[in-house]
Amino acid sequence: MHPRPAGTAHPAAALHRTVEPTLVDVAVVGAGQAGLSAAYHLRRRGFEPDPGAAASLVTLDADDAPGGAWRHRWPSLKMATVNGIHELPGFAVPPADPATPARDVLPAYFAAYEERFDLRVRRPVRVAAVRRVDDDPRGRLRVQTDAGTWDARYVINATGTWRRPFWPVYPGAESFGGRQLHVHDYVSADEFAGRRVVVVGAGISAVQLLEEISHVADTFWTTRREITWEAAEFDTAARVAAIAGVEERVRRGLPPGSVISVTGQHWTPWARAAQRRGVLVRHPMFRAIEPGGVRMPDGAFEPADVILWATGFRADIGHLAPLGLRTAAGGIRVADGRSTDEPRLFLIGYGPSQSTVGANRAGRDAVRQIMAAREPAAAG
Ligand SMILES: Cc1cc2nc3c(=O)[nH]c(=O)nc-3n(C[C@H](O)[C@H](O)[C@H](O)COP(=O)(O)OP(=O)(O)OC[C@H]3O[C@@H](n4cnc5c(N)ncnc54)[C@H](O)[C@@H]3O)c2cc1C
């Protein structure tokens, strides 16, 4: 064994040097629409973003700046083409030119919101793991991050879906000689000018980008299921029915499922525009990918330079794995935004609350439930 120079610690000592976790009542993980709504309601109920306070809260966010996933949406997603944005509680979205990209308007709004309600979001702080401190069911949950550890009585998880784009697996994908990208990485149709682009997926993004790209490129649209266009508008009744369907799934511990599988296919202005221009032509899903294109179920070959996967996103909850909540069906059992198997954990912006309006309400409801547990008599 080599002698250590005087005054230097054994390297293992660094591993054993423990930094005490900071104690807080509530840790909010993620500061998108859902997390900011929760932080706002906690502030209104007297929680302070200061660990020394009688009721304390910390809000942790992995991004460098405010805006949640809106910071990362593609530039051609304008205020006019978003699917309806519900304002955050207590502060209206300032009027914006419909032609302005959502990625500019909404992060500025979120920044002003955090400032106005003194939310003091800590960023960039990425939560790596949430685990139980001990076996006491009334004990704390440990939130481990790349910038410290917090032990909280409650964790409100609001980490969205943006960092988990879903790529289906098809044989031959690795052999493709062109470019494959997910809408997560889409920037502009101009990149595909003059190319042949296979657009995969049935959701709003697929149809919107199909329309956009078809102005400059030859497009070929494929979806797993036949599309049945709903004659009715996606009105309040349809929305309520769709949300109830997802609520039931997550209550049973199933993964929330894709948005389109519960909402059905409704006409939008860009779907109509694509239809008018003759590009809204759906084909069945290809069965394999080859170097120069895709092989269709009937054996036909469709050449392609680009495959754009508009196949949605999944809940970004890998950091919750140490809690062992995953069911055999692959989801987490959640009722009213709260984990059934770990009641100290709330999941908001998850499943039925995965929209701006749903996220708002889920933030409020999580805080109500926390208040009810803290002060049963004062709950309202
Ligand atoms: C392309 C697209 C368009 C959409 N358009 C609309 C629309 O027009 N209207 C609508 O109502 N809904 C829309 N949605 C749904 C939309 O995602 C939600 O409405 C809402 O913006 C999501 O808010 P959120 O707070 O749940 O998540 P996000 O906005 O994704 O915020 C999550 C935050 O958590 C942080 N985070 C993630 N992981 C960690 C971690 N481990 N540690 C710390 N922080 C973490 C992220 O940095 C991020 O800031 C759209 C979704 C997509 C994918």
Instruction: Check: CB of residue 261 under 8 Å from CB of residue 354.
Output: no
Whole-number Å distance, alpha carbon 32 to ligand 1 midpoint, is 6
Whole-number Å distance, alpha carbon 1 to ligand 1 midpoint, is 53
- Which atom of ligand 1 is nearest to 312's Cα? 53
Decide if 242 is inside a domain. Answer: no
CA dihedral 132→134→137→139, nearest 10 degrees, is: -90
Q: 1 falls in which pLDDT band (50, 70, 90)?
A: very low
Residue 12's CB: how many other CB atoms inside 10 A? 8
Decide if 237 is inside a domain. Answer: no
**Domain span at 190:** 173-228+264-309
Q: 265 falls in which pLDDT band (50, 70, 90)?
A: confident
Instruction: Check: CB of residue 259 under 8 Å from CB of residue 268.
Output: no
Q: Look at residues 41, 98, 96, 102 and name the one whose alpha carbon lies nearest to residue 75.
A: 102
Contacts of 292 by beta carbon, 8 Å cutoff, 6+ apart = 177, 178, 301, 303, 304
Whole-number Å distance, alpha carbon 240 to ligand 1 midpoint, is 21
Instruction: Check: CB of residue 21 under 8 Å from CB of residue 132.
Output: no
Q: Are residues 222 and 157 in the same domain?
A: no
Q: 300 falls in which pLDDT band (50, 70, 90)?
A: very high
Q: Are residues 67 and 104 in the same domain?
A: yes
DSSP per residue over 190-241, as a string? Answer: GGGTTSEEEEE--SHHHHHHHHHHTTTSEEEEEESS---EESS---HHHHHH
Q: What is the rounded CA–CA span in Å between residue 305 and residue 322?
A: 42
Decide if 240 is inside a domain. Answer: no
pLDDT given at position 18: 60
Q: 14 falls in which pLDDT band (50, 70, 90)?
A: very low
Q: Compute the average pLDDT of residues 349-362.
A: 90
Q: Are residues 104 and 214 in the same domain?
A: no
- How many structural domains does the chain have? 2
Is 5 a residue whose pLDDT tops 60? no
Is 379 a residue whose pLDDT tops 50? no
Decide if 183 is inside a domain. Answer: yes
Is 15 a residue whose pLDDT tops 50? no
Which range is least confidently modeled, 164-168, 201-205, 295-299, 364-368? 201-205
Residue 335's CB: how many other CB atoms inside 10 A? 11
Q: Look at residues 107, 99, 80 and name the one whose alpha carbon lies nearest to residue 208.
A: 80
CATH number of the domain to which 125 belongs: 3.50.50.60
Q: Look at residues 363, 373, 318, 375 and name the one whose alpha carbon lies nearest to residue 156.
A: 363
Q: Is 60 in the pocket of ligand 1 (CB under 6 A)?
A: yes
Q: Are residues 77 and 106 in the same domain?
A: yes
Q: 267 falls in which pLDDT band (50, 70, 90)?
A: confident
pLDDT given at position 128: 98
Q: Compute the average pLDDT of residues 177-193.
A: 97
Task: Write out the H or E segment, with its range, that includes residue 180.
Answer: strand 179-182
Whole-number Å distance, alpha carbon 69 to ligand 1 midpoint, is 4
Whole-number Å distance, alpha carbon 315 to ligand 1 midpoint, is 10
Q: 19 falls in which pLDDT band (50, 70, 90)?
A: confident
- Which atom of ligand 1 is nearest to 162's Cα? 30
Q: 6 falls in which pLDDT band (50, 70, 90)?
A: very low
Whole-number Å distance, alpha carbon 277 to ligand 1 midpoint, is 32
Q: Are residues 93 and 34 in the same domain?
A: yes
Decide if 6 is inside a domain. Answer: no
Q: Which of 293, 309, 325 is the last residue of a domain?
A: 309
Q: Are residues 156 and 271 in the same domain?
A: no
pLDDT given at position 266: 80
Q: Is 204 in the pocket of ligand 1 (CB under 6 A)?
A: no
pLDDT digits (tens, 9 = 90+) for 194-245: 999 999 999 889 999 999 999 999 999 999 988 888 776 666 777 777 788 8
Q: Are residues 70 and 152 in the same domain?
A: yes
Whole-number Å distance, alpha carbon 7 to ligand 1 midpoint, is 49
Q: Which of 276, 309, 342 is the last residue of a domain?
A: 309
Instruction: Check: CB of residue 353 under 8 Å from CB of residue 247.
Output: no
Percent of the chain's residues with pLDDT above 90: 76
Task: Write out the H or E segment, with its range, that includes residue 251.
Answer: helix 236-251
Q: Look at residues 122, 1, 144 and name the one whose alpha carbon lies nearest to residue 66.
A: 122
Q: Are residues 88 and 182 in the same domain?
A: no
* Angle at 67 (CA atoms; ends 118, 106), nearest 5 degrees: 100
Instruction: Check: CB of residue 57 under 8 Å from CB of residue 122.
Output: no
pLDDT given at position 368: 98
Whole-number Å distance, alpha carbon 15 to ligand 1 midpoint, is 35
Q: Whose CA is nearest to atom 23 of ligand 1?
A: 33
Q: Are residues 299 and 371 in the same domain?
A: no
Residue 235's CB: how many other CB atoms inside 10 A? 9
Q: Look at residues 256, 27, 289, 58 and name the one whose alpha carbon lies nearest to residue 141.
A: 27
Q: Are residues 360 and 298 in the same domain?
A: no
Q: What is the rounded CA–CA span in Å between residue 55 and residue 52?
A: 8
Q: Look at residues 107, 113, 94, 93 and name the one whose alpha carbon lies nearest to residue 64.
A: 107
Q: Is 30 in the pocket of ligand 1 (CB under 6 A)?
A: yes
Q: Are residues 17 and 152 in the same domain?
A: yes
Q: Is 29 in the pocket of ligand 1 (CB under 6 A)?
A: yes
Q: Which of 255, 288, 309 is the last residue of a domain?
A: 309
Residue from 33, 110, 311, 347 whose mutation best tests the ligand 1 pocket (most atoms within 8 A of CB): 33
Decide if 374 is inside a domain. Answer: yes
Q: Are residues 269 and 330 in the same domain?
A: no
- Which atom of ligand 1 is nearest to 126's Cα? 42
pLDDT given at position 324: 98
Q: Look at residues 249, 227, 255 and name the one whose alpha carbon lies nearest to residue 164.
A: 255
Q: Is 152 in the pocket of ligand 1 (CB under 6 A)?
A: no
The residue ranking higher by pLDDT, 260 or 101, is 101
Q: Is 246 in the pocket of ligand 1 (CB under 6 A)?
A: no
Is 2 a residue whose pLDDT tops 50? no
Decide if 359 is inside a domain. Answer: yes
Decide if 125 is inside a domain. Answer: yes
pLDDT digits (tens, 9 = 90+) for 117-166: 999 999 999 999 999 999 999 999 999 999 999 999 999 999 999 999 99
SS3 category, 371:
helix
Is 262 a residue whose pLDDT tops 70? no
pLDDT digits (tens, 9 = 90+) for 21-43: 999 999 999 999 999 999 999 99
Residue from 41, 86, 162 whose mutation best tests the ligand 1 pocket (most atoms within 8 A of CB): 162
- Which atom of ligand 1 is nearest to 102's Cα? 8
Whole-number Å distance, alpha carbon 160 to ligand 1 midpoint, is 4
pLDDT given at position 16: 46
Whole-number Å distance, alpha carbon 287 to ligand 1 midpoint, is 32
pLDDT given at position 80: 87
